[in-house]
Amino acid sequence: MQPSSPKLSPCLGCGAMLPVNARASIGATHDYLLASAECWATFGEVLAREYSNAAYAKVHRLTVDAYAVQHPGHPSPQSIQSVTLHLISLCLVLECGFDMDQATRTMQRLARHKSDFVWLTPPNSLGDKTILDVWQAPDAIAHVKAVEEWAQSAWSAWESHHPQVRQWTLDWALNCA
């Protein structure tokens, strides 16, 4: 090992290998998404690009959805609601052809069904793309492509639950669109 190689540690959520404490403040993570501090800080940098540049922002919906379903955490009312809503959003965009604004507006109306949400046991692998692939994109065009591939990868990882998510989408989202 090269003496200059940074020590890498895997994120407990998505598995991304990130340099330990390179950009993170210790302990600065989300309260129910299970992510390493390094992964959470990387996500924050990606969000900052999307908030400051419209060319990056057009895939913001997918960025938030992919990150949430790759960091499901443990069963709690908040994590159940988060995973359910973000999987439905991915289904709406990737399978039903909704644009990002339509998906966001639809998600906002779905909270009223939250008493019917149930915990879906996360798959062992949450996909082979992570926030790191997006963070490494050199420009807006590469960013959009990386987010689309990451979102597809994260959605595919939940394949065993697709029948349930499609049913919820049909019952709650398409009927209220």
Q: Name the site residues for Zn ion (rule: CB under 5 A).
A: 11, 13-14, 16, 35, 39
Of the two residues 48 and 118, which places its CB atom closer to Zn ion in the complex? 48
Of the two residues 11 and 66, which places its CB atom closer to Zn ion in the complex? 11
Which has the closest alpha carbon to 34: 43, 21, 46? 43
Of the two residues 24 and 35, which places its CB atom closer to Zn ion in the complex? 35
DSSP class of residue 71? -
Q: How far is the CB of 134 from Zn ion (least distance, A)?
A: 11
Helices 60-70 and 100-110: crossing angle, nearest 10°?
A: 50
Q: How far is the CB of 13 from Zn ion (least distance, A)?
A: 4
DSSP class of residue 113? G
Nearest-angstrom CA–CA distance, 81 and 46 = 23
Q: How far is the CB of 15 from Zn ion (least distance, A)?
A: 7
Of the two residues 40 and 98, which places its CB atom closer to Zn ion in the complex? 40
Ramachandran assignment for 24, one of left (phi > 0), alpha (psi -120 to 50 degrees), beta (any other): beta
Most distant pair of Cα atoms in the chain: their distance: 59
- 38: tokens are 């390094």
Q: How far is the CB of 106 from Zn ion (least distance, A)?
A: 26
